[in-house]
Structure 1
Amino acid sequence: MGSNGDGVSSKKVVFVTVGTTLFDALVRAVDILEVKQDLYAKGYTHLLIQIGRGSYIPSRSSGGDGSIAVDYFTFSSSIAESLRSASLVISHAGSGSIFETLRLRKPLIVVVNEDLMDNHQVELAEELAERKHLFCARPQTLHQTIVSMNLDSLLPYPPGDAKPVAKLMNRYL
């Protein structure tokens, strides 16, 4: 699977971010054994989870023996660094996280927090998913999304193209 041929040193990180929100449901969803196994089966070697203010603590693991390595942190000043080194990003639906990830041209699964009342985030995520810039999931559908996602089907987000999104956001503001 390694793009460098030897497959040994190709570290493929899945970075999960909840931003500044409280989103234990997302952290729980990626901490499920099947989800971790499926990510590993797809060639990902590391799962790095930013848990924010959440109270749910995922289980750390050093990986190896046919499993993905798991680590987590609460907040970090270097989220951008984590995004840059990621091979796949699983994010909450905050527009900042979404656009930063798309700008870096990273494959993205946006997981919608259904506990948030103000959910124009859902419409933004679904609109971008319809345009094939990202995948959109709920905590309970994340596993299925990971299993069925085809990264080759994603289209790069045109960086200068804020107009459709501005139009979209205005619709909900």
Structure 2
Amino acid sequence: MGDRGEEEEGRRRKRVVFVTVGTTRFDALVSAVDSENVRKVLAAKGYTHLLIQLGRGSYLPTKSDGDDGSLAVDYFTFSSSIADYLRSASLVISHAGSGSIFETLRLCKPLVVVVNEDLMDNHQSELAEELADRKHLYCARPQNLYQTLADMDLNTLLPYSPGDATPVAKHINRFLGFPDD
């Protein structure tokens, strides 16, 4: 009997998916998370709210209060700081900007990075793919976001630990002729 009550309580607990496009325009990502199949897979995985930061985009997702048991959906364009949104999120779906990636990883939040293929010379995809290869995040494209979310197992992600720069600094100091401390 107690298990059933805890299970029902767990379903009611607010679990937010926060989507950020940064200061850019990334309508393909916003449109992808607004799709019915992505909303359904997020709800099926126990998420209750979808909050989307639109940036400079023009695509407006469909708002929902979630009263019918579906995902509650809301959005905004910009915020002076997204740190509070990241902290309160159960899952973050982000553009591939290094600031957004590392801020989310530092907060130990599960992260799906969606690469904007419309950007020229997209070095951001290299960073996202490298961190995905190291199992710190999932990497997707707008067209395969649904499949990535459906297949993801957040238990397989590894915490990100920033590297220790001390050996590099010592090497540079030796090269420049400074004594080792």
CA distance in 2, matches of 1:72, 1:35: 16
TM-score by length of 1: 0.89
Find the partner of 2:73 among 70, 73, 86. 70
Which of the two has greater helix per residue?
A: 2
Bigger Cα Rg: 2
The alpha carbon displacement at 1:6 in A equals: 1.9
Instruction: Indicate the residue corresponding to 1:44 in structure 2.
Output: 47
Contact 1:2–1:8 (8 Å) recurs in 2: no
> Which digits, 9 at most, give the CA deviation of each residue in 1:129-172, with x for residues without a partner?
00000000000000000000000000000134579xxxxxxxxx
CA distance in 2, matches of 1:105, 1:3: 25
The alpha carbon displacement at 1:66 in A equals: 2.6
Instruction: Indicate the residue corresponding to 2:143 in structure 1.
Output: 140
Instruction: Indicate the residue corresponding to 1:31 in structure 2.
Output: 34
Find the partner of 1:11 among 14, 37, 53. 14
What amino acid is aligned across from residue 51 of structure 1 in structure 2? L
Paired residues, number: 163
TM-score by length of 2: 0.85
Instruction: Indicate the residue corresponding to 1:167 in structure 2.
Output: none
Instruction: Indicate the residue corresponding to 2:106 in structure 1.
Output: 103
Instruction: Indicate the residue corresponding to 1:87 in structure 2.
Output: 90
Supply the RMSD in Å over aligned alpha carbons: 2.0
- Stretches of structure 2 that go unaligned for 5 or more consecutive residues are 167-181
What amino acid is aligned across from residue 44 of structure 2 in structure 1? A
Identity percentage of aligned residues: 74
The alpha carbon displacement at 1:10 in A equals: 1.1
> Which digits, 9 at most, give the CA deviation of each residue in 1:33-90, with x for residues without a partner?
1100110000000000000110000000000323100000000123100000000000
CA distance in 2, matches of 1:118, 1:3: 49
CA distance in 1, matches of 2:143, 2:109: 23
CA 1:10–1:110 in 2, change beyond 3 Å: closer, same or farther? same
The alpha carbon displacement at 1:118 in A equals: 2.4
